[in-house]
Amino acid sequence: LIYDIIIIGAGITGLATALKIKEKKPGVKILILEKEKNVAMHQTGNNSGVIHSGIYYKPGSLKANNCLHGYKLLLSFCKENEINFELCGKIIIATDAKEIPRLNNLYDRGLQNGLRKIQKLNPEEIKEHEPHVNGISGIHVPYTGIVDYKEVCFKMKNLLINNYQSDLRFNAEVIGIEKVYSNFKILTKSDSFETRLMINTSGLFSDRIAQMTGMKINVRIIPFRGEYFELKKEKQSLIKNLVYPVPDPNFPFLGVHFTRMIKGGVEAGPNAVFAFKREGYKKNDFSIKDTAQSLLWPGFQKVMFKYTAMGLGEFYRSFSKSAFTKALQRLLPEIQKDDLEAGSSGVRAQACDRSGQLIDDFLFVEDTGIINVLNAPSPAATASLSIGESIAKKALLHL
């Protein structure tokens, strides 16, 4: 059996891509290979569960276009498949006068991205939305929502297997890729599979999978762990919905925020700490191979040099709960160290190029018979069905 398409990785990007290909052309023979025992075990299953509105992203960028379009597709998908979500809205808060120009830029960006219902807030209006939150100016974004992306992925998996006759193999880590005439032979520990087209949606390992095909790529994945605390039950009423700071434009991360979750509870986080292992969810997780690859990459050496203070600050906050609490107190002055319990963590796959840029936009790199997704960080969960749609278009051109 020769597959038309093999997708490597059953996170939300791979699943949404498979679904969109099948919607366009149900007869295409697809196999998804996933090294874990189920879908959504990495970035997708450990994220903040936010349906992003698109306010942050540069108009016209892949992030902006796919987030705005993906938002609509995701809401329809949830409605059609009875997946619980809530458009609870969020506020972005400036706590220091220095942040006001950046907040104003965000507001303009939101309008340029077509988010007409966003509103500027003065300190009293901030209190109307979030009585315990402190800010000198803010933006209310009514579009933002919350969902459980694992649930979205379980539904996608069921549709793919039951309605679209796709093959999904779990516990199938791809360890090698060989070219066989114009096809690819994809090797796992126990099997090999042949395909006309391979799509690489392997998240934290997407650079390594791309290299297995013999491609020369100009980026490496640098893992950044995001750690969360959870608000103790009796303190959850301090936050009604979602509260975000003004992000630092030098970084592709949104800053530590408060997120109410669809399944209940309120999370605070995530920070962004360099991880010494690609799937290093714990502070002491370490892999010599992963660490060496990050540290030896000239681009990451430049990032470390440029942002030493910021990086050390994140490490300090990671190990010091007091420092983490202090960052949160800027938004929510009443919050105390004892109100926070250690929560889960997620690891972001952030591509970094050779020149030292942390790639801000989504990055897709194609070659004959190969489509690689080499950077799909936040808001790729929100954007997944739109990303899937555009990869599906590219994929059908290859066949």
Ligand X SMILES: Cc1cc2nc3c(=O)[nH]c(=O)nc-3n(C[C@H](O)[C@H](O)[C@H](O)COP(=O)(O)OP(=O)(O)OC[C@H]3O[C@@H](n4cnc5c(N)ncnc54)[C@H](O)[C@@H]3O)c2cc1C
Q: Pick from 5, 6, 7, 12 the residue near ligand X by CB under 6 A.
A: 12
Q: Which is nearer to ligand X, 54 or 137 (CB)?
A: 54
Give me the least distance between CB of 67 and ligand X, in Å please.
8
Q: How far apart are CA 348 and CA 278, in angstroms?
A: 9
Give 118-127 contacts, CB < 8 A, sequence gap 24+. Answer: 118/53, 118/55, 118/142, 118/143, 121/91, 126/91, 126/93
What would the two tokens of residue 239 be?
């936050």
Q: In angstroms, what is the C-alpha Rg of the chain?
A: 21
Q: Interface with ligand X by CB under 6 A: which range of 88-96, 160-168, 328-336, 377-385?
A: 377-385
Tell me the closest approach of the beta carbon of residue 395 to ligand X, in angstroms. 16
The span of 27-35, 86-94, 133-141, 304-312 binding ligand X (CB under 6 A) equals: 27-35
Among the candidate windows 12-20, 84-92, 234-242, 325-333, which touches ligand X by CB under 6 A? 12-20
Does residue 318 bind ligand X (CB under 6 A)?
no
Smallest separation, CB 11 to ligand X (Å): 2
Report d(CA 32, CA 15) in Å as an integer. Answer: 8
**Residue 213 interacts with ligand X (CB under 6 A)?**
no
- Is 62 a binding residue for ligand X by CB under 6 A? The answer is no
Pick the binder of ligand X from 8, 28, 64, 392 (CB under 6 A).
8
Nearest approach in angstroms of CB 9 to ligand X is 3
- Binding residues for ligand X, rule CB under 6 A, total 41
Binding residues among 266-305 for ligand X as defined by CB under 6 A:
270
54 part of the interface to ligand X, by CB under 6 A: no
> Is residue 145 close enough to count as binding ligand X by CB under 6 A?
no
Assess 90 for contact with ligand X (CB under 6 A): no
Q: Which two tokens stand for residue 118?
A: 């966003």
Helix (H, G, I), strand (E, B) or coil at 104: helix
CB of 166 to ligand X, least distance (A): 15
Per CB under 6 A, does 137 bind ligand X?
no
Identify whether the C-beta of residue 358 lies closer than 8 Å to the C-beta of residue 349: no
- In the three-class reduction of DSSP (H, G, I as helix; E, B as strand; rest coil), residue 132 is classed as coil
Residue choice 19, 20, 28, 35 for contact with ligand X (CB under 6 A):
35
If one asks whether residue 381 binds ligand X (CB under 6 A), the answer comes out as yes
Residue (137 or 279) nearer to ligand X, CB: 279
Q: For the purposes of burial, counting CB atoms within 10 Å of the CB of 104, is it exposed (0-12), middle (13-18) or buried (19 or more)?
A: middle
- 19, 48, 370, 388: residue in contact with ligand X (rule CB under 6 A): 48
- Is residue 173 part of the contact set for ligand X (CB under 6 A)? yes
Quick check: 44 binds ligand X (CB under 6 A)?
A: yes
Q: 117 in helix, strand or coil?
A: coil
**Per-residue binder mask for ligand X (CB under 6 A), 333-362, x = binder:** -------------xxx--------------
Q: Which is nearer to ligand X, 47 or 137 (CB)?
A: 47
Q: Least distance in Å: CB of 254 to ligand X?
A: 8
Nearer to ligand X, 138 or 226 (CB): 226
Phi then psi dihedrals of residue 39, to 5 deg: -80, 160
Cβ-defined contacts of 298-307 (< 8 Å, 24+)? 298/354, 298/356, 299/219, 299/220, 299/352, 299/353, 299/354, 299/355, 299/356, 299/357, 300/220, 300/222, 300/352, 300/356, 301/356, 302/355, 302/356, 303/222, 303/352, 303/356, 303/358, 306/356, 307/250, 307/251
Q: Which is nearer to ligand X, 279 or 339 (CB)?
A: 279
Q: Is 240 in the site for ligand X (CB under 6 A)?
A: no
Write b or e for each residue in 147-178: b if 16 or more Cβ atoms lie within 10 A of its Cβ, otherwise e.
bbbbbbbbbbbebbeeeeebebbeebebeebe
**String of DSSP letters for 1-66:** -EEEEEEE--SHHHHHHHHHHHHH-TTS-EEEE-SSSSSS-SGGGGS--EE--STTSPTTSHHHHH
Positions touching ligand X (CB under 6 A) are 8-14, 33-36, 41-44, 46-50, 52, 173-174, 201-205, 209, 226, 270, 346-348, 376-382
